Amino acid sequence: MSRLTLFMVSALTLPFGSVSANDNCTSWGNFSTTANTQMTTLNHPTNNQLSISGSLVYRPLLRTEKAYWLGLQLHKASLSVDGTQAQAAFYQVPFAVKISAVSGQILDYHFAAKLKSEDEQKLIAIYHNMHVEHLKHQDLAMPVTLEEDDSMGRYKVRYERVDQASIIRQKLAYLQTTQGNSLFNFKLPEVKADTFNITQNACWITQLQGENQTYVESEKGDIRINVRQQVSYKVSPQPLSSEIVLLSLPLDPKKWPMLASNVVYPKPAPNPLQDAQTFINTLTAMDLASLDEKTLEQLLYDNQAYLLSLQQAIRDGLFTDKALSRLFLKLGQNDTSNAHQLLVNLYLDSEITGKQRFRSLMALKYIENPLSEHLVEEIFSQLDSTELSSEEQLLSRSSMMVMGVIANNQSGSDFADKITDKLADKLVTTRDQQKQASLLNALGNSRDERHQDNINKFMSNDNADLRRRAAEALGKMPNPQSLKMLEKRLGSEQNNTAKSAILDAMGNNQLDRRQLDTLLTYTEKSTNKSLRLSAINAAAKQQSADIDVKSQLKPLLKKEKDREVLRALMQAIHGDN
Amino acid sequence: MRTKYLALVLPLFLTACSSDDNSIKVNTDDLINSDVENVALDEIKDPEQGLFQPGQPISLDFSINTTLLETEHVGVTFMAIPKDKVEQLKTHDNPEGYNLGVHYIAQLTPGEQSFTAQLMLPNEEMPSGEYLIAGYVDSARSIEDEQDLEDNASRGHETGDLTTYAQVTIDSSKYHDFVMDKLVVGDGYAIFPDVGLRETTTEDAPEHKEADLIGHFDASKFGSGVNSANVSASITINGETLPVHFWQEGLNHYDDKMHIEFKDHEQSHYFPYDIAINGVLLNKLHQAYNADSDSNSFELTMTIEDTSEFAESNTTNNTLTIEVPYSLYKNEVPDDHPQAAQLKEAAAAQENQMLYPMAARSDIGGDDTSAVIIKGKDSLLIMDFYASLYGDKSKVAVLPLFSSSMSFANVNGGQAYASAIGTFSLFMFDKSKNLFSASAYGKADGGNGTIEYGMKASLIGNSLFDESETLEALNRSFGYDWEEEQKLFSTTFTIVIVPISVSAGVKGSVGVNTDLKYEQQRFSIGGDVLTASLEAYATAGIDLLIASGGVGIDFLIIGDTLSAEAYIDISKVLSDSELVYGLDISNNMKAIEGEFYLWVKYPGYEFCCSFPTREATKTLYNTGALYDKTWELVSTQGSLNFAN
């Protein structure tokens, strides 16, 4: 058993007891794929080969009337690049796919670890090959051609039933590319070949075999990528291994514990210097402001055991201001428990200047691992301390906003939920309006919709500044409920700053015709300038295929004279030209 | 400086020519038979045109002969080398030749195949003389276990057989051609001051320092002899064409032409411009403006002018004209201003009286800004706003927006207000983010002796501090700066399972350094409301723990300090009916400097040797910092005496 698997098993099985693969449809099989990639940049050809293999585990999960979840894990995944084994533990992370019970379409994905977005896409790509749920809603008595989407765009695909258990899937051609790949600015991808034979049983796929060849070229032809690959999966008759993490997870993916980042992205053991003093001496001898980024990161990583000794060195003024500016950022990115401890210590250290204490807060924004409970407690208690200077009060309020940012960066985790629960709890229990103001900002930073009801309570507060902040916070979590809250307050709001914030916040949502018409009434010349400005900016975001905002804004050009508002109007009308 | 994507993990090929791995196999006739997998360069034809200049495109017909191979993805590299040095191709790992580029063959087919390679002579100094162009088939060694590598290359010059070489003559005289490829105005439109806000009589270069039009053009040049030119521009409105004026980097004023230089022998360049219009042209724009129309526009024409002593080969491609929609602003008293009624009254009394620039000039000694100053009998309003898009939104651009104001009304013991706001929005690959914003304001109430202040900063939509309070005395300093490194845009798409990742972001420092004071009824805001020095980065490529190539960016997107010094002394409002005030807002900005490029790292095999990690780049977007500029948004001081 690999070290990683052992770790995963030990990390995940304990809270959930023994393996519970009693669902009849749970299965596993051998999955393998090999892709040969030919990339030509500036006419220079390069070839690479990527192979991924492992035991692909399938497990039906939570089912509701409207949707159901399927769990997947590439157990004992192995990756090789150009024939050389490569580490890619994230391929083994269990993930779940939410399927619409009505259409069989994919609604959502959930991962048992905080993965980099690019790595999430790699797991999604594996499932996308195996997605057959929507076919349960198709009559395949005759061959059908459907339109489907993947990360590259919309394409036509043909399905043909071969016999009761088997179908042939053929991707025919791309119809459009996905927006957002503009860095490469690709032409329409070309499907040169794509045929897959899929055999199913009553539960899922029992066998999949096929190959694909796709050609992608940048608009100017500078980059050309030709990928040819085979994918195969065959269900295994062997009993499921008890080591499979997916089998021990709760049926509801949203209740899955998250794997620690050092499990998913393991790093080599640190190689520290002799002692803390040597570490400090080494650091102070370097020009940290201009030191190569990777060298500084490695030095801090190797000497994470000595990081706490930096507090005294900073107190003693051993670093220049520029060096400290860099050092704080890298400590935040270091993200080890000692770095967390050091940054919190520095934030609370009254012997250090406010500027450096503020920098320690800014560095904490970068952490992606949970802070330990006692550090969270220390940060929150500082807000309630009664003996703070005016600058320390500012720092304590900023610290709440930073906690909001951290929660957003780790959203979906238990830790993030605990943080936002704490922020919301403080918001409703404190009577101090300055604290309430900062906590509204903090919850806005967290983007945690679970607390929008608490935020909404401040939309009718007597204090216009709190109403403004509540509107800004709701604007950071656009959804139908928060939009309703904003819309409800819009008509009765009397303070222009707060009203302007409501209009701005509404603009972050996709508005319907009626809501847009309401918004446009605030663009009239008779309205206050800040409201016109917010309404025009919000309306400009609504441009879509079925709503022509430009033609509605154009007549305003005849009347508008204010430079700032005029600019917003011209931007909305001509900005994309 | 240039940051590369992931570390390249490729087999380590030996570079030395003497390495055993790279020794060229002996080519004997008995090895060449139809049973051996092989590809051979058969012929490179001499181009019809025998005379070329550096920087000129060249197309070459060549043929290869393939035996038992159907290899895909094959590169053929070409090099021009002086005829008397052609031997170096076999003996030197750095021969004194010139890379012409690579021709890509999608797939080899057995038998003879003919191709035409579109290549480019390097845009650099090449001594005049006789050259041979040699080729090498399979520059990335896509063919496994090829039996004979010697016939992949041009060969036979020792015996006078030049079948596999093309012969050309290089003439390094001053051939050159400039091409204006693309002309863009910032966001696609222009806004000018309406009648009465700025003078409309000057005919020469305007004196003001604030830009009227920010934008860029893309231009190419061919030929290595001439690397600089001038650019002129004009606006055509109602059939009349008048010149516009360019900011002169380093000279601190506007003038007729913009001097451009094509650096680094690249063929394609991006040039930012900063244009101001004079009074006469502004007047024409006023006259042509139809306030009842949904749309007004003018034509902007830009021309590259050859200033060399040599004739440019083609001058018909030096000019581009675009249509630019425009509108006219006329700042009014904000209707939600606490003293709107009094200020509006003052503004109405001064309507069309050339309040500006006369009032401003008398205060600030001749410099012209776009600030609006409304001085009433017992009220005052000064405000200014600036926003322009710098860069190309489809690649990298930044939109700085600055707004400042000061006001006073002699009501209830005097009420004064001052504010300064700065924000930066970043555009990368047509997506936008609010990058950083900071603001400060103060509202002093002379009647009850209180001050309300506010100070805010946010980064990428996250509040970092947001302070506001009402006090009787205020002495607060906000002096914070720190480093940031944020990935702002990222996308991964997969070709079945092969991931292609694209990400872009910013790194650098941001900060605020502002003092707010209210003591003895004197209120002041001073310092740097906002500072930022941020670079952009972007990477793209196959994300397989290897990187073969992709797109890269190294850019300073913004280096900016928005400084504000504002004071309003209302201590004598009640006793002497006098108010003393001052407002200086200046901005130092350096924007959009750097490079956007395609790059590739590849194992190269050429002639004698192999190269483990050769690198090629193609600059798509390269600019010096034309926008390195300091200007005053507003600078004024004075007093109001209500007793008069």
Both A354 and A457 in one domain: the answer is yes
Cβ under 8 Å to B: A residues 210-229: 212, 214, 216, 222-227, 229
* Of A180-189, A299-308, A420-429, B141-150, the least confident: A180-189
Residue A270 domain flag: no
Cα A221 to Cα A88: distance, rounded to the nearest angstrom? 32
Answer yes or no: is pLDDT of A318 > 70: yes
A398 vs B contacts (CB less than 8 Å): 464-465
Residue B241 near residue B235 (C-beta atoms within 8 A): yes
Cα B587 to Cα A165: distance, rounded to the nearest angstrom? 71
Higher pLDDT, B445 or B539: B445
Residue A269 domain flag: no
Could you give the 3-state DSSP secondary structure of residue A331? Answer: helix
Residues 6+ apart with CB under 8 A from B589: B400, B558, B559, B560, B627, B628, B629, B630
Reported CATH class of domain B32-170? mainly beta
pLDDT digits (tens, 9 = 90+) for B197-224: 888 999 999 988 888 999 989 888 887 7
Residue in this structure with the two tokens 């402001």, named with its chain if needed: A289
Instruction: Give the minimum alpha-carbon distance from A19 to chain B in angstroms, rounded to a whole number.
Output: 30
Task: Output the pLDDT for position A251.
Answer: 95
Answer yes or no: is pLDDT of B263 > 80: no
Both A207 and A231 in one domain: the answer is yes
As given in the structure block, the two tokens for residue B287 are 């006259």
Higher pLDDT, B630 or A316: A316
Count of alpha carbons within 13 angstroms of residue B558, beta-carbon side? 29
As given in the structure block, the two tokens for residue B105 are 């063959």
Conformation bin of residue B429: beta by default, left when phi > 0, alpha when psi is -120 to 50: left
Domain count, chain A: 3
- What percentage of residues in chain A have a pLDDT greater than 70? 94
Instruction: Give the minimum alpha-carbon distance from A213 to chain B in angstroms, rounded to a whole number.
Output: 9
From A466, A489, A511, give the residue that closes a domain: A511
Q: What is the biggest distance separating any 2 CA atoms in chain B, rounded to whole angstroms?
A: 113
Count chain A–chain B contacts defined by CB atoms under 8 A.
282
Element (H, E) at A395: helix A390-409
B403 vs A contacts (CB less than 8 Å): 564
* Confidence category of residue B10, pLDDT binned at 50, 70, 90: very low
Q: What is the CATH number of the domain that holds A429?
A: 1.25.10.10
The predicted model scores a pTM of 0.82
Mean pLDDT of B391-416: 82
A564 vs B contacts (CB less than 8 Å): 385, 387, 403
Task: Output the pLDDT for position B623.
Answer: 59
* Of A144-153, A307-316, B400-409, the least confident: B400-409
Mean pLDDT of B615-624: 58
Helix, strand, coil percentages (3-state) for chain B, rounded to 5, are 10, 55, 35
Task: Output the pLDDT for position A59.
Answer: 96
Instruction: Give the minimum alpha-carbon distance from B54 to chain A in angstroms, rounded to a whole number.
Output: 20
* Of B26-30, B275-279, B575-579, B639-643, the least confident: B26-30
Planar angle of CA B91, B98, B223, nearest 5 degrees: 165
- The amino acid occupying position A561 is K
Both A168 and A280 in one domain: the answer is no
> A214–B191: do the CB atoms touch at under 8 Å?
no
Task: Output the pLDDT for position B370.
Answer: 65
Domain boundaries, chain B: 32-170, 177-324, 366-436+477-641
Answer yes or no: is pLDDT of A15 > 50: no
From A459, A481, A511, give the residue that closes a domain: A511
Answer yes or no: is pLDDT of B599 > 70: no
Task: Output the pLDDT for position B31.
Answer: 42
Answer yes or no: is pLDDT of A577 > 60: no
C-alpha distance from residue B299 to each of A426, B280, B596 (Å): 59, 16, 29
Tell me which DSSP letter residue A113 carries: B
How many residues are there in chain B? Answer: 644
Would you tell me how many other CB atoms lie within 10 Å of the CB of residue B228? 14
Instruction: Give the minimum alpha-carbon distance from B403 to chain A in angstroms, rounded to a whole number.
Output: 9
**With 0-12 CB in 10 A as exposed, 13-18 as middle and 19+ as buried, what is B94?**
exposed
Answer yes or no: is pLDDT of B150 > 70: yes
Both A520 and A492 in one domain: the answer is no
> B463–A445: do the CB atoms touch at under 8 Å?
yes
Task: Output the pLDDT for position B530.
Answer: 87
Task: Output the pLDDT for position B145.
Answer: 79
* Confidence category of residue A427, pLDDT binned at 50, 70, 90: very high
> A434–B469: do the CB atoms touch at under 8 Å?
yes
Domain that holds residue A546: 512-577
Beta bridge partners, B230, equal B259, B305
**B32-170 and B177-324 share one CATH topology?**
yes
Residues 6+ apart with CB under 8 A from A462: none
Task: Output the pLDDT for position B266.
Answer: 56
Closest CB to A183: pick one of B72, B103, B502.
Answer: B502
Mean pLDDT of B251-279: 84
> B191–A566: do the CB atoms touch at under 8 Å?
yes
Q: How many helices (H) and strands (E) does chain A have?
A: 21, 12
Answer yes or no: is pLDDT of A181 > 60: no
**With 0-12 CB in 10 A as exposed, 13-18 as middle and 19+ as buried, what is B293?**
exposed
The residue of chain A with its CA nearest to that of B296 is A557
Answer yes or no: is pLDDT of B557 > 80: no
Cα B629 to Cα B209: distance, rounded to the nearest angstrom? 9
Both A120 and A212 in one domain: the answer is yes
Both A549 and A471 in one domain: the answer is no
Task: Output the pLDDT for position B126.
Answer: 85
What mean pLDDT, rounded, does chain A reach? 90
Q: Where are the alpha helices (DSSP H) in B424-572?
A: none
What mean pLDDT, rounded, does chain B reach? 80
Both A442 and A300 in one domain: the answer is yes
pLDDT digits (tens, 9 = 90+) for B427-474: 877 778 898 999 999 988 888 888 899 999 999 999 999 999 888 888
* Of A35-44, A230-239, B507-516, the least confident: A35-44
Mean pLDDT of A20-31: 78
Residue B231 near residue B237 (C-beta atoms within 8 A): no
Answer yes or no: is pLDDT of A560 > 70: yes
Burial A555-569 (b: 16+ CB within 10 A, else e): ebbeebebbbbbbbb
Answer yes or no: is pLDDT of A506 > 90: yes
Mean pLDDT of B584-592: 79
Residue A110 near residue A81 (C-beta atoms within 8 A): no
- What percentage of residues in chain B have a pLDDT greater than 90? 31
How is domain B177-324 classified at the architecture level of CATH? Sandwich (2.60)
Both A329 and A455 in one domain: the answer is yes
* Confidence category of residue B130, pLDDT binned at 50, 70, 90: very high
> A35–B497: do the CB atoms touch at under 8 Å?
yes
Answer yes or no: is pLDDT of B2 > 80: no
What pairing do the DSSP bridges indicate for beta strands B165-170 and B51-52?
A: parallel
Task: Output the pLDDT for position A20.
Answer: 41
Q: What is the CATH number of the domain that holds A149?
A: 2.30.230
Highest mean pLDDT among A125-129, A146-150, A394-398, B294-298: A394-398
> B483–A328: do the CB atoms touch at under 8 Å?
yes
Residue A458 near residue A478 (C-beta atoms within 8 A): no
Could you give the 3-state DSSP secondary structure of residue A256? Answer: coil
Instruction: Give the minimum alpha-carbon distance from A564 to chain B in angstroms, rounded to a whole number.
Output: 7
Mean pLDDT of A455-472: 97
pLDDT digits (tens, 9 = 90+) for A229-284: 999 999 999 999 999 999 999 999 999 988 888 889 988 999 999 999 999 999 99
Torsion angles phi and psi, residue B371, rounded to 5 = -65, 150
A405 vs B contacts (CB less than 8 Å): 462
Instruction: Give the minimum alpha-carbon distance from A17 to chain B in angstroms, rounded to a whole number.
Output: 34
Answer yes or no: is pLDDT of A12 > 50: no
Please indicate if any CB of chain B lies within 8 Å of the CB of A574: yes
Please indicate if any CB of chain A lies within 8 Å of the CB of B491: yes
> B548–A181: do the CB atoms touch at under 8 Å?
no
> A329–B484: do the CB atoms touch at under 8 Å?
yes
Residue A243 domain flag: no
Task: Output the pLDDT for position B161.
Answer: 94
Task: Output the pLDDT for position B565.
Answer: 85
Please indicate if any CB of chain A lies within 8 Å of the CB of B102: yes
Task: Output the pLDDT for position B346.
Answer: 65
Residue in this structure with the two tokens 């004209």, named with its chain if needed: B321
Planar angle of CA A150, A153, A157, nearest 5 degrees: 65
pLDDT digits (tens, 9 = 90+) for A324-371: 999 999 999 999 999 999 999 999 999 999 999 999 999 999 998 999
Taking the C-alpha atoms of A435, A438, A444 and A447 in order, what is their torsion angle to the nearest 10 degrees?
-70
Mean pLDDT of A310-319: 96
Answer yes or no: is pLDDT of B184 > 80: yes
Cα B642 to Cα A269: distance, rounded to the nearest angstrom? 75
- The amino acid occupying position B278 is N
Mean pLDDT of B136-158: 86
Both A58 and A173 in one domain: the answer is yes
Taking the C-alpha atoms of B547, B549, B551 and B556 in order, what is their torsion angle to the nearest 10 degrees?
70
Could you give the 3-state DSSP secondary structure of residue B103? Answer: strand
Cα B283 to Cα B275: distance, rounded to the nearest angstrom? 17
> A441–B463: do the CB atoms touch at under 8 Å?
yes
Cβ under 8 Å to A: B residues 541-570: 542-546, 548-551
Element (H, E) at A498: helix A496-507
* Confidence category of residue B610, pLDDT binned at 50, 70, 90: low
A325 vs B contacts (CB less than 8 Å): 481-483, 509
Cα B521 to Cα B314: distance, rounded to the nearest angstrom? 69
Could you give the 3-state DSSP secondary structure of residue A245? Answer: helix
Please indicate if any CB of chain B lies within 8 Å of the CB of A517: no
Answer yes or no: is pLDDT of A472 > 80: yes
Residues 6+ apart with CB under 8 A from A381: none
Task: Output the pLDDT for position B563.
Answer: 85
Cα B347 to Cα A533: distance, rounded to the nearest angstrom? 22
